[in-house]
Amino acid sequence: MIDTILFDLDNTILDFDKAEEIALTKAFRALNIEPTEQIMKRYSEINLAQWKLLERGKITRDEVKTGRYALLFDEFEIDCSADLAESIYEKNLGIGHYYLDGAEELLQILHNQYRLYIVTNGMADVQKGRIQSAKLRDYCQDIFISEEIGFNKPRREFFDFCFAKIPAFSKDKSVIIGDSLTSDIQGGINAGIQTIWFNHDHIKNTSDVQPDYVIDSLNEIKPILNSLN
Q: Which active-site residues does the annotation give?
A: 8
Task: Give Cα separations from 128 to 98, 109, 134, 161, 163 (angstroms).
Answer: 14, 23, 10, 19, 21
Distance CA 217, CA 201 (A): 10
Residues 37/212, Cβ–Cβ less than 8 Å? no
Q: Which residues of 114-144 are buried (b: 16+ CB within 10 A; e: fewer)?
A: bbbbbbbbbbeebbebbbeebebeebbbebb
> What letter would DSSP give residue 184?
I
Cα end-to-end span (Å), the chain: 4
Q: Nearest Cα to 86, choosing from 71, 65, 67?
A: 65
φ, ψ of residue 10 in degrees (nearest 5):
-75, 125
Radius of gyration in angstroms for the set of CA atoms belonging to the chain, rounded to a whole number: 18
Residues 115/6, Cβ–Cβ less than 8 Å? no
